[in-house]
């Protein structure tokens, strides 16, 4: 097991915030733009949740990474710059928040590049990428490498960083998992259906506290994904604060931006390499072929 990327820490924690705003709901259908309540639910993220989270990060003294769809950055000029000015990283989260697995050939690249153009126009340095809904394709890592980015954070093949070789170069993967995503805990809308259980922040805090303790034991990457329209709500923000305070009190957990973890991982010669390629599903003749 390689541990050089941890630089002596028991675990490395990356706090990541997907500032999706209205984009994931509009990706379900443009007609939701006429749903005033639903749109206000999503706008709460950048308008209320992000400022609250930025203050929380200032008060606890930890850095974070904010993944923003290009459409959101475009509609809210200055949002990305304000985050960077507070010492945090802004990373690429598609343009339209349409999952790559739902796009026709060529559309993933077009959406990816449109998002990159928004950040370039705003003078925001981009080092990493996260696929919408984590629904990466087998071309996603190659797109990341082709555009000179350091890392992707969409896959689940480990609980430590690993390398993905592509035809365009090597990408560092900072893996994620559903158990470290607040969407699975807090997301609810009547339409479109995005979740149906609103958990207690106490339960979520206990689950994530147990996970960070276990990851310090195993030398893992605690890559937490939060959404400001969810975790920006008061009791949930307080639960996040308690989680950060617990991790800091341990003395063996380091908080870093994703960009900084990727740089350390890229310098670790012993980091695992996990090629990304589809399994030979055609050999499973008994299984239905699925949609064309």
Domain assignment of residue 66, yes or no? yes
Average pLDDT over residues 69-81: 98
Residue 269 Ramachandran class (φ > 0 left, ψ -120 to 50 alpha, else beta): alpha
Residue 55 to residue 53: CA distance in whole angstroms: 5
> Residue 249 is part of which domain span?
4-31+53-276
CB 41 within 8 A of CB 189: yes
Residue 172 has pLDDT above 70, yes or no: yes
Domain assignment of residue 167, yes or no? yes
Domain assignment of residue 285, yes or no? no
Domain assignment of residue 43, yes or no? no
Domain assignment of residue 44, yes or no? no
80-120 pLDDT per residue, tens: 999 999 999 999 999 999 999 999 989 999 999 999 999 99
CATH label of the domain that carries residue 268 = 3.20.20.370
Determine the Cα angle at 12 with ends 184 and 230, to 5°: 25
CB 172 within 8 A of CB 284: no
Residue 68 to residue 33: CA distance in whole angstroms: 19
pLDDT band at 136 (very low <50, low <70, confident <90, very high): very high
Domain assignment of residue 46, yes or no? no
Q: What's the total number of domains in the chain? A: 1
Domain assignment of residue 122, yes or no? yes
Average pLDDT over residues 42-71: 98
**What number of H helices and E strands is found in the chain?**
12, 9
Domain assignment of residue 194, yes or no? yes
Residue 292 has pLDDT above 60, yes or no: no
Determine the Cα angle at 25 with ends 21 and 28, to 5°: 150
The predicted pLDDT at position 197 comes to: 87
pLDDT band at 1 (very low <50, low <70, confident <90, very high): low
């Amino acid at each position: 097991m390689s541990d050089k990327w941890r630089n002596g820490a028991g675990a490395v924690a990356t706090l990541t915030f997907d500032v999706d705003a209205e984009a994931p709901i509009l990706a379900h259908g443009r007609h939701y733009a006429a749903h005033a309540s639903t749109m206000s639910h999503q706008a709460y993220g950048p308008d209320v949740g992000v400022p609250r989270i930025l203050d929380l990060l200032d008060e606890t003294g930890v850095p974070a990474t904010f993944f923003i769809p290009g459409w959101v950055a475009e509609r809210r000029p200055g949002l990305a710059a304000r985050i960077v000015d507070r010492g945090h990283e802004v990373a690429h989260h598609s343009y339209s928040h349409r999952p790559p697995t739902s796009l026709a050939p060529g559309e993933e690249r077009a959406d990816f590049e449109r998002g990159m153009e928004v950040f370039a126009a705003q003078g925001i340095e981009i080092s990493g990428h996260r696929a919408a809904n984590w629904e990466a394709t087998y071309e996603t890592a190659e797109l990341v490498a082709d555009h000179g980015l350091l890392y992707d954070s969409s896959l689940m093949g480990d609980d430590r960083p690993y390398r993905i070789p592509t035809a365009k170069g090597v990408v560092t993967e900072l893996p994620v998992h559903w158990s470290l995503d607040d969407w699975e805990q807090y997301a609810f809308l009547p339409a479109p259906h995005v979740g149906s259980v609103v958990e207690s922040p106490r339960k979520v805090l206990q689950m994530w506290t147990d996970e960070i303790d276990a990851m310090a034991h195993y030398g893992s990457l605690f890559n937490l994904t939060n959404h400001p329209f969810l975790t920006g709500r008061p009791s949930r923000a307080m639960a996040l604060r308690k989680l950060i305070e617990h991790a800091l009190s341990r003395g063996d957990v380091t908080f870093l931006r994703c960009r900084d973890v990727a740089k350390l991982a890229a310098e670790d010669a012993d980091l695992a390499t996990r090629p990304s390629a589809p399994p030979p599903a055609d050999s499973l003749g008994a299984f239905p072929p699925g949609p064309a």
